[in-house]
């Protein structure tokens, strides 16, 4: 009958439980040193897996005793230590150089990605670097050749950089107390709808983060429900909660801003389910400004100008002859700028250049047996000059609204300032004062009736701004309270802010702090 009990053998000790330590005498007796918690032989650089004198002694006696017994002593030990140290430095230096090559490869990949260049351009950059190195630093040509910039490598590098950016954004997003989304839906050259989702958030220390979070192609329908699914997926990817969503900025597309079934309405409904009922909704301020600019009733000028530019730029022969003609005249400009409706900032540049090149353009057209009768019409030329000036003003405000890290109160102030300028220009044009219209002021015989007509156009433009920026204007009290908390009328504030604002306005130290550090650092600290 088999025994029900098993024999228990002697319990084995684990090496990690013996707490063994390296003994200094092993260096003198066996030429071993400790490196990264392992015993290393100074003679052959091999390591012994177990930190026991028996193993170390056996290694020495079987491999080195017959040769090194007569050399035992501190002098021989020091010499072997120096050799091991030199060997380590070689490996360290090689590793450092390899790291530099990889870092350089990532830096080039980042530049190519930012400039939207194909991955294969990395091979061209590599060839350029080697050529430059051969001329300037021939002794370092090998270093430049060691930088891997092949198409496959650049593709991997860009993927790594993108993943790194996303990981950083996820880490920062985990600290957001509030965040806002900007949504832009457009169609690319292949007729594929794309929705870009930008995230802007602040942490408890008022550190701002602003980044493109996702760019989704919409292969099928672009209904509001499809867009909601994309937005929800992005929020989940970055672990963002609807409770902390403070605002939405959109491009005004019907599927996004529909009153009942638009994306904004759907997001508001979802947010209200988790108790977020104070969601702010804005139409992109830059897009609004551009729509205001389009309201100018100057189509009779734009159609002629675009027709002229297209005639010059659309045919290679006409374009080359025009460029050569300008070169022969030593003209300030070498060409006319092509006009694209979607590139808002090209309009002012294009109009100014065509206006300055009126005579040259007229000469080229006459050489082609064509004419531009509008260029001989004084009233039309005056309208053209006015359009050049007002478009330049609109271009300036549009440019100032762009860029990262703007605060909403700053953007509101810029638009408000431009509306005030419109009021001033309306008054001045009504009295034939052309101070702020330099191109128009150079035209001869500008009558009061002409400037009164321009004043009417400015009045219409001012009204367009007032109507389109209603969503910003209704929040101007909050913007003012944020930007100037010590001078805001407390009675005009919502009830939940009044007590806190009373305490702030009576705190002399806080008031002094705002003057010393500025608005952002004031809230940050």
| pLDDT one-digit tens code per residue, 67-76 | 766 555 554 5
Closest CA to 193 of 213, 234, 231, 221: 221
Domain shared by 422 and 300, yes or no: yes
Which domain-ending residue is among 237, 258, 283? 283
Is the pLDDT at 141 greater than 60? The verdict is yes
Residues 184, 57 within the same domain: no
Residue at 467 is within a domain: yes
Same domain assignment for residues 304 and 441: yes
Domain boundary residue, one of 114, 134, 160: 160
Q: What value does the mean pLDDT take over residues 185-211?
A: 87
In a domain, 50, yes or no: yes
**Cβ burial 26-63 (10 Å sphere, 16+ → b, else e):** bbeebbbbeeeeebbbbbeeeebeebeeeebbebbeee
**Same-domain check for residues 321 and 447:** yes
pLDDT in tens, 454-505: 999 999 999 999 998 888 888 888 888 999 999 889 998 988 889 999 999 9
pLDDT digits (tens, 9 = 90+) for 25-74: 777 777 788 876 778 887 777 778 777 888 888 888 888 777 766 555 55
Mean pLDDT (whole number) for 189-209: 88
Residue 77 belongs to a domain: no
Rounded mean pLDDT, 432-444: 94
Same domain, 256 and 298: no
Average pLDDT for residues 9-16, to the nearest whole number? Answer: 48
312 plus 429 within the same structural domain? yes
Domain hosting 402: range is: 293-473
pLDDT bucket at 7, cuts 50 / 70 / 90: very low
Same domain, 379 and 454: yes
> Does residue 3 belong to any structural domain of this protein?
no
Residue 165 domain flag: no
- Last residue of some domain: 133, 160, 187? 160
Domain CATH for 261: 3.30.420
Give how far Cα 506 sits from Cα of 37, 166, 476, 485, Å. Answer: 63, 44, 23, 11
Q: Is the pTM of this model over 0.85?
A: no
Q: Is residue 166 part of a domain?
A: no
| Sequence-separated (6 or more) residues with CB below 8 Å from residue 426 | 455, 458, 459, 462
Are 491 and 441 contained in the same domain?
A: no
Looking at the structure, tell me whether residues 277 and 363 fall in a common domain: no
Q: 464 and 405 in one domain?
A: yes
Same domain, yes or no: 370 and 420 = yes
Q: Are 230 and 255 in contact (CB under 8 A)?
A: no
Same domain, 314 and 272: no
Contacts of 513 by beta carbon, 8 Å cutoff, 6+ apart? 522, 525
């Amino acid at each position: 009958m088999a025994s029900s009990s098993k024999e228990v053998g002697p319990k084995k000790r684990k090496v990690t439980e013996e707490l063994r330590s390296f003994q200094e005498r092993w260096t003198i007796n066996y030429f071993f040193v400790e490196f990264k918690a392992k015993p290393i032989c100074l003679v052959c650089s091999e390591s012994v897996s177990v930190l026991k004198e028996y193993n170390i002694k056996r290694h020495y006696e079987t491999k080195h005793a017959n040769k090194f017994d007569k050399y035992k002593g501190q002098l021989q030990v020091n010499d072997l230590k120096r050799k091991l140290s030199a060997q380590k430095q070689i490996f360290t230096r090689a590793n450092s150089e390899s790291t530099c090559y990889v870092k350089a490869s990532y830096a080039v990949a980042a530049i190519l990605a930012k400039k939207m260049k194909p991955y294969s351009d990395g091979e061209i950059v590599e060839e350029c670097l080697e050529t430059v190195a051969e001329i300037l630093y021939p002794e370092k040509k090998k270093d430049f050749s060691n930088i891997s910039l092949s198409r496959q490598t650049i593709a991997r590098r860009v993927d790594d950089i993108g993943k790194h950016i996303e990981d950083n954004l996820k880490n920062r997003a985990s600290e957001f107390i509030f965040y806002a989304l900007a949504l832009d839906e457009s169609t690319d050259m292949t007729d594929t709808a794309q929705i870009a989702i930008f995230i802007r958030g602040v942490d408890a220390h008022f550190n701002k983060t602003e980044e493109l979070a996702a760019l989704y192609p919409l292969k099928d329908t672009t209904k509001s429900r499809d867009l909601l699914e994309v937005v929800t997926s992005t929020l989940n990817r970055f672990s963002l909660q609807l409770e902390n969503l403070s605002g939405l900025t959109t491009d005004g597309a019907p599927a996004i801003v529909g009153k009942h079934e638009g994306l904004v309405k759907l997001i508001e409904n979802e947010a209200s389910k988790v108790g977020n009922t104070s969601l702010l909704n804005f139409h992109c301020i830059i897009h609004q400004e551009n729509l205001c600019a389009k309201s100018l009733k100057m189509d009779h000028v734009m159609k002629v100008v675009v027709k002229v530019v297209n005639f010059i730029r659309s045919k290679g022969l006409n374009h080359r002859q025009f460029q050569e003609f300008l070169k022969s005249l030593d003209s300030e400009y070498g060409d006319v700028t092509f006009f694209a409706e979607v590139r808002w900032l090209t309009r002012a540049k294009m109009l100014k250049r065509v206006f300055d090149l009126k005579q040259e353009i007229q000469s080229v057209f006459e050489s082609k047996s064509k004419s531009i009768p509008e260029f001989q019409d004084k009233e039309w030329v005056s309208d053209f000059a006015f359009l050049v000036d007002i478009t330049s003003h609109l271009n300036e405000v549009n440019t100032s609204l762009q860029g990262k890290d703007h605060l909403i109160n700053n953007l509101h102030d810029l638009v408000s300032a431009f509306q005030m300028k419109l009021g001033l220009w309306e008054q001045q044009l009504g009295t034939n004062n052309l101070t702020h219209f330099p191109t128009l002021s150079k035209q001869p015989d500008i009558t009061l009736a002409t400037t009164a007509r321009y004043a009417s156009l400015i009045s219409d433009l001012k009204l367009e701004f007032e109507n389109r920026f209603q969503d910003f204007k209704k929040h101007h009290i909050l913007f003012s309270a944020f930007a100037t908390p010590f001078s805001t009328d407390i009675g005009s504030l919502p009830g939940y802010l009044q007590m806190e604002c009373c305490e702030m306005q009576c705190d002399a130290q806080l008031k002094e702090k705002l003057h010393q550090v500025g608005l952002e650092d004031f809230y940050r600290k």
